[in-house]
Structure 1
Amino acid sequence: MDYQIPWFVVEAVYRKHSNLNKIFDIPIHKLALLCFEKFYPRSMHKSKVHYDTITLAPDGFKHLLHIFHWSRSPEGKFRTISRPFKKMDSFYIPSASSMHLSETVFKKHADGSIDVSYSHRRLSGVMKLAPWHISEYSPKIYESLLRFERGYGLFCGYPFTAYVACMVCLLQTEEDVQLLRAKGIIPSTRNDEKEVLSSVKQFRTFLCDDVPMSNDLANLSAKVMANHQRSVIRYYGEFKSRYCSNPWITASVIAGICLFVLTFLQTMYGMLSYYKLQ
């Protein structure tokens, strides 16, 4: 993926050789998209497909890697540069296990391909992430996509940079991997927790700290930290983790509360009876 043939050259060759049109009988861009079906991320982002019709990039494509990037990216997200200007070296969110303690729920993103979002609830937060498949060819693909965004991000956005940056922050320990694997965000494969963390370190080397941070990613970080630092949320999460993680502990806590209430009522009843006799 290092050396890309300009897309207008590919289109010209396809149009000129009528035999190719007769053999495949489909537009060149659809033929290119079919070539990506065996590579993760496999599915096109749902924002690119409307009633089974693919909406092409209005300004055309630069090369084959651009088509792959465009087809797997959410429409209109991670494009606008944050104001005030920030670089990726300032991006931070806590690890998955830390966010779990502050009542953040992790879910698979329903829109497909590469995407990440965060929203608030009254006493929790919801972080949606696209499933992260790690294969033998993943490092090369992601490295190429991140390098592409480094050069053309102002025109094509920074969705892969945002996604990889989030995954690098979230996956710090084996507990983090187990948590996201339980939610289906890291599919169960032959990769164990240590191999996943090793891949995370490798992916971190692909990120460029000088790349500008998109406004969507800056807002995501602000929302996560605002929820994570709320004392009520943290105390609530610690209480659930300590007393509600095991059904026997939960039952004993409930039994203790019931016993306390009954003892309190019995004491109050005894005191009221005493004063009534007086």
Structure 2
Amino acid sequence: MPKNMNQNHVITIDQEVETMKKQMKEAPKLLLKSAGKNSCSIFRVPQSLVEINKEAYRPRIVSIGPCHYGNKDLAMIQEHKWRFLDDMITRTNKQLDFLMKNIGSMENRIRDSYSESIDLGSNDLAKMMVLDGVFLIELFRKVGKLVPAHQDDPIFKMAWISPFLMRDLLRIENQIPFFVLQKLYEVSKQEDHDCTLQSLILEFFNYMVDRPQEVLKKYANHDGKHLLDFFRKSFINNNRDSVTRSSVNRSSISRNLVVPEAIDKPNHSLKLIKPATKLVTAGVKFKANHQADSFLDIKFQDGLLLIPQINMDDFYSAFFLNCMAFEQCYFHCTKDITTYVVFMGCLMNTSADVSLLSHNKIIENYFGTDKEVAKFFNEVGKDVAFDIKNNYLKDLFVELNEYCKNGWHVNWAGFKHTYFASPWAAVSAFAAVMLLSLAVLQTLYTVISYYKKDGDK
């Protein structure tokens, strides 16, 4: 090889090494190295989850926060944000510079709330937070009738907007920090209104998820990391002994894999449960729990599985998916929604299982066919990280599996399922029992007659 070619080759390698060294020092932008901190709670959904349901995480009519900022497909509602901001400024006499300075002082906290780098300057970031935050607060106030809304306002008059809007506000990529909302609410609050921001939010979403006022009052002063987290927490029982975070020393499992205990003696009943139709053949009965405060409040006692009724529709399906994405990404929270979806996915393996739960008024199906409901729960729970040993239903998993082990109630349930599943099967079984009984009586009569004659001799 000529000498000059070798020198060129060495120079090229040296340049590449320098480039590599620079890249080693560059901080990640798509997933910040600080994304595991407690303060970071707004995430871009991983592609592995997006592939399961591509439409579940993308806003359809409104962008909130930086992830979908500037999307031209969402420009229609974006224009109305300025009108809502003008409404608030006019009503409260607050100056824009006052709002900008209040939010601008939180810049570092705001940036720390996102898992990826925000490509906006300080002023643009503050402007976006003010515009989006005031839009949300004014929306809650107008719906809650704290402030007047224009009688012909299309946001409230066009029937198609409301359901899309409510789903968009609960998408994980469409969030701003809750402390931003709190600050904007406090500085724009009028003295004659004593409602909390939380109570307004719950009343707003109660148009989609109808819950009693006494349930909503329990969460009227609670907080969350953002709207999605706050609304998610309003279904979680604070008195329940639920683990606050997943232990890094415990193994996670997928839907189809159970990892044995590494230290403790394994509990062989702590495993995923059978589908609803198979549980019935094992003697388990199903009943809708209409007294529960939350769809998470599932109970099992003396062979009866009490499950709160849930209306499966587009709102709940999107809510479940975004809650699960949040729980998969955010280390510092319970995994209760993930646990619930995995549990329901176990129960609803086929359309027959869904039909059984619908018959027992546990599922109100506005989602599609029974097959589509079963497919939804099976697909969304298939590849999520789920720790069988560290969730709020782990004792129920054990109790159900223990109950379904061999025992008299299991054998009796199997007998009933085999011989009394239909009227004709019951008639056939009854006829067979009668024939058997007559045969036994005839045999006894013959034996008794024989010994009687033998005795007379």
Same fold at TM > 0.5:
yes
CA offset digits 1:189-228 (Å, max 9, x no partner):
36112222332244226x6226675343222222222222
Counterparts in 2 of 1:107 and 1:57: CA distance versus 1, 3 Å: farther
Match of 1:71? 234
Counterparts in 2 of 1:253 and 1:191: CA distance versus 1, 3 Å: same
- Mapped to 2, the partners of 1:36 and 1:186 lie a distance apart of 21
Deviation at 1:8, TM superposition (A): 2.7
Deviation at 1:73, TM superposition (A): 2.0
8 Å contact kept, 2:288–2:309: yes
Indicate which of 303, 312, 325 corresponds to 1:147: 325
The answer as to 2:402 corresponding to 1:226 is yes
Question: Could you say what secondary structure the match of 2:313 adopts?
Answer: coil
- Mapped to 1, the partners of 2:390 and 2:298 lie a distance apart of 13
Match of 1:200? 377
Deviation at 1:244, TM superposition (A): 1.0
CA offset digits 1:115-139 (Å, max 9, x no partner):
2534342xxx222223343323434
- Mapped to 1, the partners of 2:404 and 2:251 lie a distance apart of 21
From the CA coordinates, give the structure whose radius of gyration is larger.
2
Counterparts in 2 of 1:149 and 1:127: CA distance versus 1, 3 Å: same
Query: Structure with the greater relative contact order (CA < 8 A, sep ≥ 6): 1 or 2?
Result: 1
Match of 1:185? 362
The answer as to 2:17 corresponding to 1:17 is no
CA RMSD of aligned residues (A): 3.2
- Mapped to 1, the partners of 2:241 and 2:358 lie a distance apart of 25
- Mapped to 2, the partners of 1:132 and 1:86 lie a distance apart of 31
Question: Could you say what secondary structure the match of 1:179 adopts?
Answer: helix
Match of 1:29? 198
8 Å contact kept, 2:351–2:371: yes
Question: Could you say what secondary structure the match of 1:187 adopts?
Answer: strand
The answer as to 2:113 corresponding to 1:113 is no
Question: Could you say what secondary structure the match of 2:198 adopts?
Answer: helix
Question: Could you say what secondary structure the match of 1:35 adopts?
Answer: helix
8 Å contact kept, 1:118–1:224: no
Letter in 2 for 1:238: G
8 Å contact kept, 1:74–1:114: no
- Mapped to 1, the partners of 2:301 and 2:226 lie a distance apart of 39
Letter in 2 for 1:252: S
- Mapped to 2, the partners of 1:228 and 1:196 lie a distance apart of 25
8 Å contact kept, 2:298–2:308: no
- Mapped to 2, the partners of 1:18 and 1:256 lie a distance apart of 78
Q: What are the equivalent positions in structure 2 for 1:118-267 lying under 5 Å apart? A: 118-121=299-302, 125-152=303-330, 154-155=332-333, 157-189=334-366, 191-204=368-381, 208-209=384-385, 213-267=389-443
Structure 1 vs Structure 2: percent identity of aligned residues? 24
Deviation at 1:180, TM superposition (A): 1.2
Match of 1:98? 278
CA offset digits 1:70-89 (Å, max 9, x no partner):
21223333723799945242
8 Å contact kept, 1:102–1:234: yes
Deviation at 1:100, TM superposition (A): 1.5
- Mapped to 1, the partners of 2:365 and 2:298 lie a distance apart of 22
Match of 1:43? 211
Counterparts in 2 of 1:71 and 1:33: CA distance versus 1, 3 Å: same
Counterparts in 2 of 1:115 and 1:153: CA distance versus 1, 3 Å: farther
8 Å contact kept, 2:272–2:397: yes
Counterparts in 2 of 1:39 and 1:152: CA distance versus 1, 3 Å: farther
CA offset digits 1:44-72 (Å, max 9, x no partner):
7x9x74xx8425577x4322222211212
Deviation at 1:171, TM superposition (A): 1.5
- Mapped to 2, the partners of 1:131 and 1:82 lie a distance apart of 28
8 Å contact kept, 1:43–1:72: no
8 Å contact kept, 2:175–2:227: yes
Letter in 2 for 1:177: V
- Count how many residue pairs are aligned between Structure 1 and Structure 2: 265
Q: Which moved more, 1:129-138 or 1:65-74?
A: 129-138
CA offset digits 1:166-207 (Å, max 9, x no partner):
1111222121121111111221436112222332244226x6
8 Å contact kept, 1:102–1:233: yes
Question: Could you say what secondary structure the match of 1:216 adopts?
Answer: coil
Counterparts in 2 of 1:3 and 1:133: CA distance versus 1, 3 Å: same
- Mapped to 1, the partners of 2:230 and 2:187 lie a distance apart of 21
Letter in 2 for 1:265: L
